[in-house]
């Protein structure tokens, strides 16, 4: 049985989502920097603990603040981090940039609403 997404290591999950094999470490420091930047944005949106410092061993369940009266939006947070990292690390073709950026903006709004509503 596959492990739940919430228990996956963020770094490994995003490498896989970006099509980078786990054994390829050539981009690890750059990728880690972009993931960390996405985590900082999530801090500002209220979705992760403001004192959390990202490291490559963290699982999704380690970073998400669980709102008391709502579900935890693992899917939204995961997609936000993946798209934010991808658009910086491996930008889409010019014809798709606006679509991807609009999706990132929509996810940011939805995450902010989720956590401000529950707060």
> Please, what's the b/e burial string for 99-114 (b: 16 or more CB within 10 A of its CB; e: otherwise)?
ebeeebeebbeebeeb
Of 22, 39, 17, 13, the residue nearest 90 (C-alpha): 17
| pTM of the full structure | 0.86
- Each domain of the chain, given as residue ranges in start order, spans 5-118
Of 65, 103, 49, the residue nearest 81 (C-alpha): 103
Structure confidence by residue, pLDDT tens digits, 46-100: 888 778 889 999 998 888 755 554 555 778 899 999 999 999 999 999 999 999 9
Contact 88, 37 (CB under 8 A): yes
Structure confidence by residue, pLDDT tens digits, 46-59: 888 778 889 999 99
64 or 108, which is more confident: 108
């Amino acid at each position: 049985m596959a492990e739940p997404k919430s228990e996956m290591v963020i770094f490994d999950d995003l490498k896989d989502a970006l099509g980078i094999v786990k054994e390829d470490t050539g981009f690890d420091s750059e990728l880690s920097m972009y993931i960390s930047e996405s985590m900082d944005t999530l801090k500002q949106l209220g979705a992760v603990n403001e004192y959390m410092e990202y490291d490559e061993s963290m699982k999704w369940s380690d970073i998400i603040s669980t709102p008391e009266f709502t579900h935890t939006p693992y899917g939204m947070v995961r997609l936000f981090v993946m798209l934010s990292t991808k658009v910086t690390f491996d930008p889409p073709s010019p014809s798709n940039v606006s679509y991807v950026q609009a999706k990132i903006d929509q996810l940011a709004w939805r995450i902010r609403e989720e956590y401000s509503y529950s707060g």
